[in-house]
Structure 1
Amino acid sequence: MIVLYGKNANLAKIHVPPVNDIRVMVYNSKLLTESNEKRDIELELHHAVIAEQFEVFYQPQLSLISGKHIGMEALIRWNHPTKGIISPLKFIQLAEELHLINQIGLWVLKKACTQTVEINELFGLDLRVSVNLSSVQLQHPRLLQDIKEILKETGLEPRLLDLEITEGSLFNFEKSSQILEDIKNLGIHISLDDFGAGYSSLSYLKKLSIHRLKIDRIFLLNIPKEEDTLMTSIVTLGHNLNLKVLAEGAETLEQVNFLKTIQCDEVQGYYFSKPLPYSEFTAYLDKYLNID
């Protein structure tokens, strides 16, 4: 039961937690401030899409076997004209609410494909780029056609594109698995991101058309202070399913050595580099190749 009083009751109502017990939410000026701030950022986000105020940052991914770079993850940032770089944590959920996420996601995909072609041509490499695919995009009826058009327009080979999905995006499993199968048939790689952070069902792993598991960064937090048999088990599970396994969030040499010990295939994290804007990422690669 929710009881509302006062002329600002509607404003208070939207802040009532979605639970079934009795709650009282009293209006105060903080609610008005938060409401105004959200309204402002909504307007700014619409403008950001039109003005293409976004930027793609890249974080390198390396093979733990060869030690060489195998690719990079493309990560969106909002380059606000007055507020500077804004993390996706602050606007992606809002973009979903405003039905802007598909438009933004396709922009990121096209930009990442374009810049990956440039990077590979510049350095003579064969790097694969990983791009996040939201649950909204995964269910969009034009997804497959949009991907085909972007690959054709940018010239990126399908094998050099890796689309990352999360467990949460598979709420309609039958439909999602068929879409992933169609994407895989184009020659595109698919990774299951943040594996282990949600409520994983091992049964669906055998049915999904994926190439790689990305272990959530939370599993590396206490290493090497604690032995993590669970992480070892995830790597073994991935290998038994003929999947590559990449660990996210490596920040120390000890963690990297641990991953090598448990035969994890690939890694990314701050130990190698934080996410970098395009110009800094190319400078990073140039330095790495000269050292190598």
Structure 2
Amino acid sequence: MRDEADNFLLERARAGDAQAIEALLERHQAQVYRFGMKMCRDPEDAKDVLQDTLLSMARGVRDFRGASSISTWLYTIARSFCIKKRRRSKFAPEEERSLDTEMIAEGRQLADPAQSPDEVLAGKQVEHALEQAIRSLEPMYREVLLLRDVEGLTAPEVAEVLGVSIQAVKSRLHRARLSVRAQVAPMLGISTDGAAANGTCPDVLTLFSQHLEEEISADICAEMERHLQACDRCRSACDSLKRTLALCRTTGPTVQVPNSVQASVKVALRNFLAENA
């Protein structure tokens, strides 16, 4: 659902107010850029995706009737441009600039003075492990994880963006979560072995992920909770998944649109609006 500020700007934008269109796009540019960076994994591609997405939104804003949220609409557009970029970049070099490199270049990472140097280093190592884990996912799993666990869309909204069923979203999401958790858990000091001796334990990681999506019954949930109380290994495994997903939720806001990219996109947008006034 749209918030009141989006509603107000959208109505003015539909009426042809260029300033409202620009303000509306500025409100949503960071999420589009984050998505482009993590899907395309290249700063120049992410910049192109952002610019193309915002220009497409500007072209179509008068016809947008609000059947979905503005965020869902934007992610749908951005995803189509990401797919085009992936196809064109088939033979691109493997070496890519990381998100950390981009953020440092823009001077946007500030050290927490309350943390010791060792804590700062450990935190960066975990962040890097998370970034690498997300990057290593196949695109069909990466986009689901990014939209659901990083950007916070609901499963139905993710399904709308991707054009697949809600069940397909959840199936891909569970697999993506477990894959990322397996890579990040060692950095959290937790073993990735979630199976107890003699194979007597249920698949608690998948069950916990399904529980987060409200896919298991109250009885199964209660049974799982009883098992976790008695099994340290499974409890540790679920804890590592909780902590991994918490990291996913906090990684989004740290990625900002570089000033140079904002300026470039703003020029392109204003030129477009002037030509179509």
The question of a shared fold, defined as TM-score above 0.5 by the shorter chain, is answered with no
* Structure with the largest fraction of helix: 2
Query: Whose RCO is larger (CA < 8 A, sep 6+)?
Result: 2
* Structure with the largest fraction of strand: 1
